[in-house]
Amino acid sequence: MAMIECRNLTKYYGHTRALNGVDLTIEKGQIVGLLGPNGSGKTTMIKMANGLLQPTNGSIIIDGHDPGVESKSVVAYLPDRDFLPEYMTVDALFKMYGDFFTDFNREKAEKMLASLDIRRDVAIKKLSKGTREKVQLVLIMSRDAKVYLLDEPIAGVDPAARDYILKTIISNYCEDAIVMISTHLIADIESILDDVIFLKDGNVVVHEPADQLREERGKSIDGLFREVFKC
Ligand SMILES: Nc1ncnc2c1ncn2[C@@H]1O[C@H](COP(=O)(O)OP(=O)(O)OP(=O)(O)O)[C@@H](O)[C@H]1O
């Protein structure tokens, strides 16, 4: 069964069209790159998959459900903005997540935190921007979810930590799950992608396995992106 199914998915903000009748089927067990230039509709699609926005037309089905209470329990969503409460410590956040999400795996979270060398007793407001991003990602990837929606997960993180984070993403999702990653750092993440989606002006212009794309076009996904979206 498809984990994400979009049919004629359309979104308007007033007169601005953000998604234009997208048809898309994503099967489980994949890491999918949702790639496109600024304003192409990536965040809009991710927000609709998480039930934060309603389609203007068409539908999106997550694990057989309309986005809502049931789908939210299987979706782990990393927004493109900082969502951590400033006054809480990392420890308190872990506790809150454990209370809130039955699938939060604290052991996993502790392990990631230790590998990234982040202290648990420090208030969020004292952490650097990049460290906050790491904490957010640890919280999200420590859930045993079926769908991980990661909107710009590594943008503010230093290159050394990026590699660890990508390894963490690969090793922390189970075979039945999907991870959808929106990013502009294509060269950094393309080695972990199974499937690639290019969005252009709200339309899917490419949806293919990453290996197949590289072979057919004789270049990296990053190289292909630069070619397709050349200004
Ligand atoms: N709240 C909003 N109100 C009005 N227009 C919006 C709103 N959010 C997004 N848009 C418009 O919808 C289109 C798609 O935006 P979206 O944020 O989904 O793109 P994106 O691919 O995530 O871009 P970026 O790479 O810059 O984050 C753009 O034209 C944007 O200006």
Report which of 2, 51, 46 is spatially closest to residue 24, judged by C-alpha positions.
Answer: 2
Q: Please give the distance, rounded to the nearest whole angstrom, from the Cα atom of residue 126 to the centre of ligand 1.
A: 31
| Structural Rg of the chain based on CA atoms | 17
* Ligand 1 atom having least distance to the Cα of 152: 27
Confirm whether pTM is higher than 0.80.
Answer: yes
Helix or strand (DSSP H, E) at 222: helix 221-228
Cα of 50 vs centre of ligand 1, distance in Å, is 16
Query: If you take atom 15 of ligand 1, which residue's CA is the nearest one?
Result: 39
CA 144 to chain centre: 15
Strand order in the sheet with 203-209: 75-78, 147-151, 178-182, 30-35, 195-200, 203-209
**If you measure from the C-alpha of residue 43 to the centroid of ligand 1, how many angstroms do you get, rounded to a whole number?**
7
Beta-carbon neighbour count of residue 126 at 10 Å? 11
How far, in Å, CA of 181 to CA of 35, rounded? Answer: 8
Question: Could you tell me if the CB of 44 is within 6 A of ligand 1?
Answer: yes
Angle at 34 between CA 17 and CA 30, to 5 degrees: 140
What is the structure's pLDDT at 159? 86
Question: CA 85, CA 107: separation in Å to the nearest integer?
Answer: 22
Percent of the chain that is helix, strand, coil (3-state, to 5): 35, 30, 35
Q: Going residue by residue through the chain (231 aa), what tens digit of pLDDT does each one get?
A: 789 999 999 999 999 999 999 999 999 999 999 999 999 999 999 999 999 999 999 999 999 999 888 788 899 999 988 889 999 999 999 999 999 999 999 999 999 899 888 999 999 999 988 899 899 999 999 999 999 999 998 888 888 888 888 888 888 777 889 999 999 999 999 999 999 999 999 999 999 999 999 999 999 999 999 999 988
Q: In this structure, which amino acid lies at residue 34? A: L
CA of 39 to the centre of ligand 1 (A): 5
Ligand 1 neighbour 183 (Cβ under 6 A): no
Ligand 1: centre distance to CA 41 (Å) = 6
- For ligand 1, say whether the CB of 18 is within 6 Å of any of its atoms: yes
Per-residue pLDDT, 129: 86
- Please identify which residue in the block is written with the tokens 């999907």: 178
pLDDT of residue 206: 95
Q: Classify domain 2-228 at the CATH class level.
A: alpha beta
Which residue CA neighbors atom 26 of ligand 1 most closely? 38
